[in-house]
Structure 1
Protein backbone atom coordinates (compact mmCIF):
# COMPACT_ATOMS: atom_id res chain seq x y z
CA UNK A 1 0.00 0.00 0.00
CA UNK A 2 1.25 3.44 -0.83
CA UNK A 3 1.98 6.02 1.81
CA UNK A 4 -1.23 7.88 2.49
CA UNK A 5 -1.48 11.51 3.48
CA UNK A 6 -3.01 12.38 6.86
CA UNK A 7 -6.14 13.56 5.03
CA UNK A 8 -6.44 10.26 3.15
CA UNK A 9 -5.97 8.29 6.36
CA UNK A 10 -8.56 10.40 8.14
CA UNK A 11 -11.02 9.99 5.28
CA UNK A 12 -10.59 6.22 5.25
CA UNK A 13 -10.89 6.00 9.03
CA UNK A 14 -14.07 8.09 8.93
CA UNK A 15 -15.51 5.83 6.23
CA UNK A 16 -14.73 2.73 8.30
CA UNK A 17 -16.33 4.28 11.37
CA UNK A 18 -19.43 5.30 9.40
CA UNK A 19 -19.83 1.79 7.99
CA UNK A 20 -19.19 0.18 11.37
CA UNK A 21 -21.75 2.45 13.02
CA UNK A 22 -24.38 1.62 10.37
CA UNK A 23 -23.78 -2.13 10.74
CA UNK A 24 -23.83 -1.88 14.53
CA UNK A 25 -27.10 0.09 14.42
CA UNK A 26 -28.57 -2.61 12.18
CA UNK A 27 -27.50 -5.23 14.72
CA UNK A 28 -29.09 -3.17 17.50
CA UNK A 29 -32.45 -3.42 15.70
CA UNK A 30 -32.96 -6.94 17.05
CA UNK A 31 -33.46 -7.98 20.66
CA UNK A 32 -30.45 -10.31 20.72
CA UNK A 33 -28.23 -7.80 18.94
CA UNK A 34 -29.22 -5.03 21.32
CA UNK A 35 -28.47 -7.24 24.34
CA UNK A 36 -25.09 -8.16 22.84
CA UNK A 37 -24.21 -4.49 22.27
CA UNK A 38 -25.30 -3.52 25.78
CA UNK A 39 -22.96 -6.19 27.17
CA UNK A 40 -20.16 -5.05 24.89
CA UNK A 41 -20.58 -1.47 26.04
CA UNK A 42 -20.62 -2.48 29.69
CA UNK A 43 -17.68 -4.92 29.59
CA UNK A 44 -14.66 -2.67 29.12
CA UNK A 45 -11.23 -4.21 28.86
CA UNK A 46 -9.56 -1.40 30.76
CA UNK A 47 -8.12 -2.35 34.11
CA UNK A 48 -10.18 -0.91 36.94
CA UNK A 49 -10.43 -1.06 40.71
CA UNK A 50 -6.69 -1.70 41.10
CA UNK A 51 -6.97 -5.09 39.34
CA UNK A 52 -3.51 -4.49 38.03
CA UNK A 53 -1.04 -1.97 39.38
CA UNK A 54 0.44 0.07 36.52
CA UNK A 55 3.20 1.37 38.78
CA UNK A 56 4.22 4.95 39.44
CA UNK A 57 4.40 5.76 35.74
CA UNK A 58 1.97 3.66 33.73
CA UNK A 59 3.17 2.79 30.26
CA UNK A 60 1.42 3.77 27.05
CA UNK A 61 -0.47 0.49 26.76
CA UNK A 62 -2.84 1.58 29.53
CA UNK A 63 -3.61 4.84 27.71
CA UNK A 64 -3.99 3.04 24.38
CA UNK A 65 -6.40 0.51 25.85
CA UNK A 66 -8.47 3.29 27.45
CA UNK A 67 -8.69 5.09 24.10
CA UNK A 68 -9.82 1.85 22.41
CA UNK A 69 -12.43 1.20 25.11
CA UNK A 70 -13.71 4.76 24.82
CA UNK A 71 -14.05 4.40 21.03
CA UNK A 72 -15.91 1.08 21.30
CA UNK A 73 -18.26 2.64 23.84
CA UNK A 74 -18.76 5.68 21.61
CA UNK A 75 -19.62 3.58 18.54
CA UNK A 76 -21.93 1.22 20.42
CA UNK A 77 -23.72 4.09 22.19
CA UNK A 78 -24.21 5.95 18.92
CA UNK A 79 -25.50 2.78 17.25
CA UNK A 80 -27.98 2.10 20.04
CA UNK A 81 -29.23 5.67 19.84
CA UNK A 82 -29.54 5.44 16.06
CA UNK A 83 -31.48 2.17 16.33
CA UNK A 84 -33.81 3.74 18.89
CA UNK A 85 -34.37 6.76 16.62
CA UNK A 86 -35.16 4.49 13.67
CA UNK A 87 -37.60 2.55 15.83
CA UNK A 88 -39.35 5.78 16.90
CA UNK A 89 -39.56 6.96 13.28
CA UNK A 90 -41.13 3.67 12.23
CA UNK A 91 -43.64 3.88 15.08
CA UNK A 92 -44.51 7.46 14.18
CA UNK A 93 -45.08 6.45 10.53
CA UNK A 94 -47.35 3.64 11.65
CA UNK A 95 -49.41 5.95 13.83
CA UNK A 96 -49.53 8.72 11.22
CA UNK A 97 -50.43 6.41 8.31
CA UNK A 98 -54.19 6.26 7.71
CA UNK A 99 -55.65 2.83 8.18
CA UNK A 100 -57.02 1.25 5.07
CA UNK A 101 -60.72 0.65 5.19
CA UNK A 102 -62.00 -2.78 4.37
Structure 2
Protein backbone atom coordinates (compact mmCIF):
# COMPACT_ATOMS: atom_id res chain seq x y z
CA UNK A 1 0.00 0.00 0.00
CA UNK A 2 1.40 3.35 -0.94
CA UNK A 3 1.63 6.23 1.51
CA UNK A 4 -1.01 8.13 -0.44
CA UNK A 5 -3.41 5.16 -0.34
CA UNK A 6 -2.79 4.72 3.40
CA UNK A 7 -3.52 8.41 4.05
CA UNK A 8 -6.67 8.19 1.94
CA UNK A 9 -7.84 5.12 3.85
CA UNK A 10 -7.04 6.70 7.21
CA UNK A 11 -8.98 9.83 6.27
CA UNK A 12 -12.02 7.79 5.29
CA UNK A 13 -11.89 5.72 8.47
CA UNK A 14 -11.66 8.89 10.58
CA UNK A 15 -14.66 10.37 8.75
CA UNK A 16 -16.71 7.22 9.40
CA UNK A 17 -15.74 7.28 13.07
CA UNK A 18 -16.73 10.95 13.44
CA UNK A 19 -20.09 10.29 11.80
CA UNK A 20 -20.67 7.24 13.99
CA UNK A 21 -19.86 9.16 17.18
CA UNK A 22 -22.27 11.93 16.18
CA UNK A 23 -25.06 9.51 15.30
CA UNK A 24 -24.61 7.55 18.51
CA UNK A 25 -24.68 10.74 20.56
CA UNK A 26 -28.05 11.62 19.00
CA UNK A 27 -29.41 8.12 19.57
CA UNK A 28 -28.09 8.10 23.16
CA UNK A 29 -30.48 10.95 23.98
CA UNK A 30 -33.16 8.22 24.08
CA UNK A 31 -32.86 6.63 27.56
CA UNK A 32 -33.44 3.04 26.37
CA UNK A 33 -30.90 3.46 23.59
CA UNK A 34 -28.39 4.98 26.01
CA UNK A 35 -28.68 1.94 28.26
CA UNK A 36 -28.15 -0.38 25.30
CA UNK A 37 -25.06 1.55 24.21
CA UNK A 38 -23.62 1.57 27.72
CA UNK A 39 -24.25 -2.18 27.98
CA UNK A 40 -22.46 -2.68 24.67
CA UNK A 41 -19.48 -0.73 26.01
CA UNK A 42 -19.47 -2.81 29.20
CA UNK A 43 -19.76 -6.16 27.47
CA UNK A 44 -16.58 -7.79 26.38
CA UNK A 45 -16.66 -10.00 23.32
CA UNK A 46 -13.08 -11.06 23.83
CA UNK A 47 -12.73 -14.50 25.33
CA UNK A 48 -11.62 -14.19 28.94
CA UNK A 49 -10.39 -16.44 31.73
CA UNK A 50 -10.84 -20.13 31.05
CA UNK A 51 -13.52 -19.85 28.32
CA UNK A 52 -11.04 -20.65 25.60
CA UNK A 53 -7.33 -21.09 25.91
CA UNK A 54 -5.49 -18.84 23.47
CA UNK A 55 -2.18 -20.46 24.37
CA UNK A 56 0.95 -18.75 25.60
CA UNK A 57 0.77 -16.14 22.85
CA UNK A 58 -2.73 -15.24 21.65
CA UNK A 59 -3.09 -15.41 17.89
CA UNK A 60 -4.12 -12.55 15.62
CA UNK A 61 -7.84 -13.33 16.01
CA UNK A 62 -7.70 -12.65 19.74
CA UNK A 63 -5.69 -9.46 19.20
CA UNK A 64 -8.10 -8.22 16.52
CA UNK A 65 -11.11 -8.86 18.76
CA UNK A 66 -9.50 -6.97 21.64
CA UNK A 67 -8.80 -4.04 19.33
CA UNK A 68 -12.45 -4.09 18.19
CA UNK A 69 -13.70 -4.18 21.80
CA UNK A 70 -11.45 -1.25 22.70
CA UNK A 71 -12.65 0.74 19.69
CA UNK A 72 -16.32 0.12 20.53
CA UNK A 73 -15.70 1.41 24.04
CA UNK A 74 -13.86 4.47 22.74
CA UNK A 75 -16.63 5.31 20.26
CA UNK A 76 -19.40 4.92 22.86
CA UNK A 77 -17.40 6.98 25.36
CA UNK A 78 -16.92 9.74 22.78
CA UNK A 79 -20.63 9.66 21.92
CA UNK A 80 -21.60 9.94 25.59
CA UNK A 81 -19.21 12.84 26.08
CA UNK A 82 -20.69 14.61 23.07
CA UNK A 83 -24.20 14.01 24.43
CA UNK A 84 -23.18 15.50 27.78
CA UNK A 85 -22.04 18.70 26.07
CA UNK A 86 -25.52 19.10 24.61
CA UNK A 87 -27.37 18.63 27.89
Please say whether Structure 1 and Structure 2 have the same fold, judged by a TM-score greater than 0.5: yes
1:49 deviation in Å?
2.1
Match of 2:25 in 1: 25
User: How many Å separate the matches in 2 of 1:55 and 1:23?
Assistant: 39
Question: What SS is found at the alignment partner of 2:49?
Answer: coil
- What stretches of structure 1 of length at least 5 have no aligned partner? 88-102
Cα deviation 1:68-94 (Å, max 9, x = unaligned): 00000000011011111211xxxxxxx
Pairwise CA RMSD = 1.1
Between structure 1 and structure 2, the one with the greater Rg is 1
Q: TM-score, normalised by structure 2?
A: 0.90
Q: TM-score, normalised by structure 1?
A: 0.78
Match of 2:60 in 1: 60
- What is the aligned residue count? 84
User: How many Å separate the matches in 2 of 1:40 and 1:30?
Assistant: 15
Question: What SS is found at the alignment partner of 1:57?
Answer: coil
- What stretches of structure 2 of length at least 5 have no aligned partner? none
Match of 2:46 in 1: 46
